[in-house]
Amino acid sequence: MTTQQQDMAQAPADVHSFAKPAEAVARHLDLDIAVNFDKKTISGKATYQIENLAKGNRIVFDTRGLNIEQVYLGEEQTPTTFRLGDEAKFLGRPLEVDIKPDTRLVTIQYNTTANADALQWLSPQQTAGKKHPFLFTQSQAILARTWIPIQDSPGIRITYSAKVKVPKELLAVMSAENPMQKNSTGEYTFEMRQAIPSYLMALSVGDLVFKPIGQQTGIYAEPATIDAAVYEFAEMDKMLVAAEKLYGKYRWDRYDLLVLPPSFPFGGMENPRLTFVTPTVLAKDRSLTSLIAHELAHSWSGNLVTNGTWDDFWLNEGFTVYFERRIMEELYGKEYADMLNVLGFQDLQNTLEELGPDSEDTRLKLDLEGRDPDEGLTDIAYEKGNFFLQNIERAVGRECFDQFVNKYFQTFAFQSTNTDLFLDFLRSELIKGDEKLAEQINIEGWVYSPGLPVGFQKPTSSRFAQVEQAYTSWKSGKPAAQLNTKEWSSHEWLHFIRMLPEQMSEQQLAELDKAFGFTNSGNSEVLAAWFIHTIRNNYTTADQALETFLTNVGRRKFLVPIYKALAATPEGKKKALAIYAKAKPNYHAVSTSTLDAMLK
Ligand SMILES: [Zn+2]
């Protein structure tokens, strides 16, 4: 066996994929598809270069809600037989293709159906420009199989090329080398030369334009949004420089952003070479750009070194949050990064409270067998993962830890890793039998135990100490308008709003609103935090703004706590259902599957 075969044979099974990569594995994909906005379908061919490792008679792909029309083998495209297995919840159906021991090429002709959860088709009305329809994909965690028949496991990597036909007035972009400009034919070709896992397959089609930021960086957005985005993300080049200084060369050539319509369910998705990003970070003051640092950091943790299964998700997200905060520290100083750590800790505490102290979902190493990974992936992977890495950094010193992280990224570049592999690497490279150090790092407590380990050091922030002072004076009677808030960034505001008491009078809410204009804020983080208070205390002045927000924004992180706050009372639930009925077409399936369960 080659080392690659050995890796494959020894890799832990991915319980969220039907693929059997130790038997036969895909290495390269040639996608040739047409995007039909009238029928809301994608149809075409996926041709795989495969390696038949076991020299057996089958290769297995993942599909969900796909129509498989025909499967062919070889250059000459000889039809072959195939079977679709039984439908399994979340996972879809295995596509078992009959091959020969020497088969190198498998072509699957298919089309998508209305059940393609990765795809969101937006009407012109749902875009910023209101003139053209829009399509974007979201493949993570296991939705790539709803728009491409694919071996849909993060432990399997492929290179790809693609030919995509779209309506002539629209531009197509992918997680690949991109065209930058519309052409008159509506046919675009793409090339991704670096091997990626399936969840990073991404496509978007719309009335898009491109503007550069630096030599290597730029932005795709609708014409109505592009200038605001160029202003907001002007510092992305500096972030790239800071990231490379920390953890080595950026391995993907270009780094561009695609600003999506507001229905995008996430803050960002780290599709390689082209991060997809929510327009809710266009705050006009560059105050929410840590999100870009986060997505950029994924170019190392996640895209370059990938969690082998979704049980190891913390390796993607914990590292990325740690790296994101380091980039922000490089750019804006330690006090700035401290604020992000404290806010992250608050999120973590909320999640720990919600899940309960003994919940197995609060361990870093998860066990998501039998569950939809999208539902099991929480702040734990992000923030507990980050604090674990900060704990190691404290134990060995920053210089030593940075060397270790650099070596980790180099050693596992373009490979999948998992918790065991990482911990072995940690033991052999850092701990080296030092028992005292092992005790400080406390692998058992962080990785395999629920909650936070004994002796956890809570993060602190000097800038937030001033916010807390202001809050205390307001509580003891000082008028809101007289508080010293001049220098506050949106992080300080968020901290302030989160501190507000659960019970407030109409008068108190009105006073704060008048002094600080929360209800009319253009900052989505501030708004989302403020609405929790206006809902709890039935401050109806904010109702219209709340409804506008919910019908426009599809970002799950905002929707879930707001709908939850509404659903806490029978009256609020009625309101929630009425708004949801109107807003649902603006949400992606990732958001609606969570909300459907919550509001049923
Ligand atoms: Zn992330």
User: 310 CA distance to ligand 1 centroid (A)?
Assistant: 13
User: What does the pLDDT read at residue 357?
Assistant: 87
User: 23 CA distance to ligand 1 centroid (A)?
Assistant: 31
Across the range 523-543, mean pLDDT stands at: 97
Collapsing DSSP states into helix, strand and coil, what is residue 66?
Answer: strand
* Run of H or E including 75: none
pLDDT > 70? residue 226: yes
Catalytic annotation present for 336? no
Q: Confidence band (pLDDT; 50, 70, 90) for 10?
A: low
List the single range of 241-255, 364-378, 409-423 with lowest mean pLDDT: 364-378
Q: Compute the mean pLDDT over every residue in the chain, rounded to the nearest whole number.
A: 96
User: What does the pLDDT read at residue 15?
Assistant: 96
Q: Which among 17, 93, 106, 14 is positioned nearest to 59, based on CA atoms?
A: 106
Residues 59 and 99 sit within 8 Å (Cβ to Cβ): yes
d(CA 583, CA 547): 9
Q: What percent of the chain has pLDDT over 70?
A: 98
* Run of H or E including 256: strand 255-259
User: 313 CA distance to ligand 1 centroid (A)?
Assistant: 10
Residue 354 phi, psi dihedral angles, 5° rounding: -65, -45
Residue 415 phi, psi dihedral angles, 5° rounding: -130, 165
Sign of the Cα pseudo-torsion (17, 19, 25, 26, in order): negative
User: 294 CA distance to ligand 1 centroid (A)?
Assistant: 6
d(CA 267, CA 385): 19
Could you tell me if residue 433 is left (phi over 0), alpha (psi between -120 and 50 degrees) or otherwise beta? left
Across the range 105-111, mean pLDDT stands at: 98
Neighbours of 581 (CB within 10 A): 9
d(CA 171, CA 182): 5
User: What does the pLDDT read at residue 125?
Assistant: 87
d(CA 201, CA 272): 9
Q: Own/partner pairs for 71-74, CB < 8 Å, 24+ apart? A: 71/97, 71/106, 71/107, 71/108, 71/109, 72/106, 72/107, 72/109, 73/99, 73/100, 73/103, 73/105, 73/106, 73/107, 74/103, 74/104, 74/105
Let me know how long the chain is: 600
Q: Which among 284, 328, 306, 288 is positioned nearest to 156, based on CA atoms?
A: 306
d(CA 483, CA 413): 50
User: 463 CA distance to ligand 1 centroid (A)?
Assistant: 26
User: What does the pLDDT read at residue 376?
Assistant: 79
Digit-coded pLDDT (tens) for 444-476: 999 999 999 999 999 999 999 999 999 999 999
Q: Which of 255, 382, 580, 587 is catalytic?
A: 382
Residues 563 and 535 sit within 8 Å (Cβ to Cβ): no
User: 71 CA distance to ligand 1 centroid (A)?
Assistant: 36
User: What does the pLDDT read at residue 1?
Assistant: 43
Catalytic annotation present for 295? yes
Q: Which of 96, 222, 232, 295 is catalytic?
A: 295
Digit-coded pLDDT (tens) for 141-200: 999 999 999 999 999 999 999 999 999 999 999 999 999 999 999 999 999 999 999 999
User: What does the pLDDT read at residue 374?
Assistant: 87
User: 1 CA distance to ligand 1 centroid (A)?
Assistant: 34
- Residue 249 is encoded by which pair of tokens? 């060369």
pLDDT > 60? residue 563: yes
pLDDT > 90? residue 8: no
d(CA 589, CA 587): 7
Neighbours of 460 (CB within 10 A): 11
Q: Which among 221, 290, 217 is positioned nearest to 250, based on CA atoms?
A: 217
Question: pTM for the complete prediction?
Answer: 0.96
Across the range 221-237, mean pLDDT stands at: 97
570-583 helix and 589-599 helix, angle to the nearest 10 degrees: 150
d(CA 180, CA 117): 27
Intra-chain end-to-end CA distance of the chain, in Å: 52
User: 320 CA distance to ligand 1 centroid (A)?
Assistant: 6
pLDDT > 60? residue 278: yes
Residues 6+ apart with CB under 8 A from 58: 23, 24, 96, 97, 98, 99
Place of tokens 């968020």: 494
d(CA 336, CA 327): 11
385-396 helix and 313-332 helix, angle to the nearest 10 degrees: 60
Q: Which among 374, 372, 352 is positioned nearest to 362, based on CA atoms?
A: 352
pLDDT > 80? residue 4: no
| Whole-number Cα distances in Å, 132 to 167, 208, 236 | 10, 10, 28
Place of tokens 């965690």: 141
How distant is the alpha carbon of residue 535 from its chain centre? Answer: 28
User: 321 CA distance to ligand 1 centroid (A)?
Assistant: 7
Digit-coded pLDDT (tens) for 167-176: 999 999 999 9
User: 295 CA distance to ligand 1 centroid (A)?
Assistant: 6
- Residue 38 is encoded by which pair of tokens? 């009238």
Collapsing DSSP states into helix, strand and coil, what is residue 550?
Answer: helix
pLDDT > 70? residue 126: yes
Residues 172 and 207 sit within 8 Å (Cβ to Cβ): no
Across the range 298-322, mean pLDDT stands at: 98
Identify the structural domains of the chain with CATH numbers, from first to last: 1-203 (2.60.40.1730), 305-448 (1.10.390.10), 463-599 (1.25.40.320)
